[in-house]
Structure formats: structure tokens, C-alpha cells
Structure 1
């Protein structure tokens, strides 16, 4: 995008909170969970974030697994393209390291004007980025609650979500009558992350559910 983004400006979140149940529920909803690094130019404000993401199981990135990595780009005129290959292992790692060394050597030998520019932009023309805070990022969300198996709980959750502007697209509730608590899975429509976090905090504070709610961001239109 022609901007300089500092590492501290990039939101990062790992996969430690993802459970096997989340993977199975995602599959049931038609999604795959992938750890994505996402960059978007949103009307001059840059989204720069790394986190587990649910993507449609028909998306090209959904089939990337094992030691493979992929870069998926959506250009304004070009549309969607993807480059995929091994991202781990002895030879792939050695190839990447040697490519970096050769690139550094080529730049040093070019001496200024003939030098190629990283990302296609001369360093002196790159500007600082206005990175959008995660609270302002708008996504759909997958929500997982552990709720008491009694009437009114689902309605109470939905009521709090509604007060913060989150509308529910679908609900999965299983194992009713088998245990004292049941998993409740919801998928929301688009909403700012700030609204989601406030709603989940209130649900937790009111002790509507048994444990801290979990959520995963959904990207339908990469």
C-alpha cells in the first residue's frame, strides 16, 4: 500500500484458544479456521492484523494445509490471485534465507538509482500509516458460549447482543437434556469489534454463561 507499518501497530493473536470443538462447529457452518495475516486498505486507513480466522470452506486459502503457506491478493483491477508453496522444512527454509542474502547483495551492488525497491515503492516516498484500531474493525463473528441448560438463557444472550447492535445470523445448540450445561454457537452479522467486546463483557458480568465466551472473526470477502 506504499506505507510503513511498525510491528507494534500490527494486532497479533495466536491459536491457543482454538478448540477441536471450534474446528468441528466451523465445518458444520461451512467454514475452515486458518491463521491469517490480513492487510487491507480501507479508504486510507490500513487494517494490519494477525489472528485465527474463519473463511468459507470453498475459498482457495481453505485448502492450504500442512507445511504449505499461501499469499492471497485481491487487486482492484486484477482480481484474486494466490501464490502457494512449502513454508517449512530444510530446503524451503534454506531457499528463503539464500534469496534474502542475494537480494541484499544485489541492492548493495546497485548503489542507489538502479536499486530495486522493496514492495515496489522507494523507501523515501513511503509514508507512515494510519492503522485502524482493532476496536474499529468490522467483521462477522463466530461465538461459543457454555450456557446452563434451562429456558431463557438463549434469549438473554441474544438480548444483550442486540443492545450492542449485533444481530444473529444462525444458532447451533446441541446435547440438550444430557448435561447441566450446553454449548451454544452463534454466527453474527457484521459489527465493530468494540461492540462485540462490550456485549461479551456484559454477558460474562451478568453470569448468563458458565465460562468466558469465545469468539473467532469471520472473513467472508477476502
Structure 2
């Protein structure tokens, strides 16, 4: 923008002051005229290392603490689900547990094929293998035996709990080794693992 100032012959000092004031006001109020260069588009933000790795910023009000490996990103997921982690087995104990699993698997397969998955049928079929049924005291203490046979874990559906048909099996092979199994209408499974913190040789439910 060009500003034309006609300076009178007298009062040069006043004219100089006036010129300075006009230039100052013009600079403060100018927003860019029609001949101004177009503004550059906003630059895209540079991705931070966290964003590159797939991390998202913490949402307003969300807890800043999320444990690595948290299933759904919930704070303290690991602590809340520690009861679902089985213990470690020694190599020798793991080998013994695998032997017992190989004995139990054909029995559960046969029961599944015959359509027999109730606890009494499973218990009767496993007794010939020589296992003694586990006994516990009033406080849950072990009083002997190694085999546990139970109905399936109740599950919440709609507005009430339902116990599915089927049977769970837990065999204590050593203090650090178990065979954990189940048989039900849809399938059966036999696996080896260390004992669980709260439920021994039985896999605990997800809800806690």
C-alpha cells in the first residue's frame, strides 16, 4: 500500500510527526490486500516417535497409566488378571505332565464321540487310569488325591447365570505341573500348564 503525504511548507516537524503516526496506524491495521501473496496451507504436523509406533495421545480424562500388553488398554490389566496366569513348570515336571495328558486325551475324545460329557461319566472313565480324586478341607487346603472333576464354569447370559453342559478336569501331576482339560458338546481340550494362583489346576474364569 502506497501512502501519499503532502507536506506543507511550514510546520515540518509537525508533518514528520503526522507521517510517523499514519505509518504506525497503517502497519497495525493491515490484514493483507488483494495484491498480497496467498497464505501458505497449514503444514501437516510432524509425527512424533510415539505416533510412529502406533501410540495414541491420552484422551482427556483418561488414566495416563496403561500397562504394556494390556488386553483392552485398561489400567492395571495385568494386576487384575494375574489370577489367569499359570505358574512355570520345570522341564522334568512338564515332561511328566505331557505323559499324563497323553493318557487323558483318548478318554475324553471317546466320551465326546459318545456324547457323554457329564461329570459322573467323565469321573467314571478316568478312575481306571489310577487317579485318586482330590480332597480339600473347609478352607480349600489339599488333603490328598490328584484328580479334580467339576461341572463347567457358570456364565452370565442376559440377566442370569447359566451352567453349560460339560465337565472340567484338573490333574495335579506335581506341585508345579498340571493337566487342565474339558469336554463339552462342541469340543474337548487337553493341555499342560503350571497351577493357577487361585484355582490350582482349573483354569479360572475371565471375570474376577
- What range describes the TM-score normalised by the shorter chain of this pair? under 0.3
Higher relative contact order (CA 8 A, sep 6+): 1
Give 1 or 2 for the bigger CA radius of gyration. Answer: 2
What is the TM-score of this pair, normalised by structure 2?
0.23
Pick the structure with more strand per residue.
1
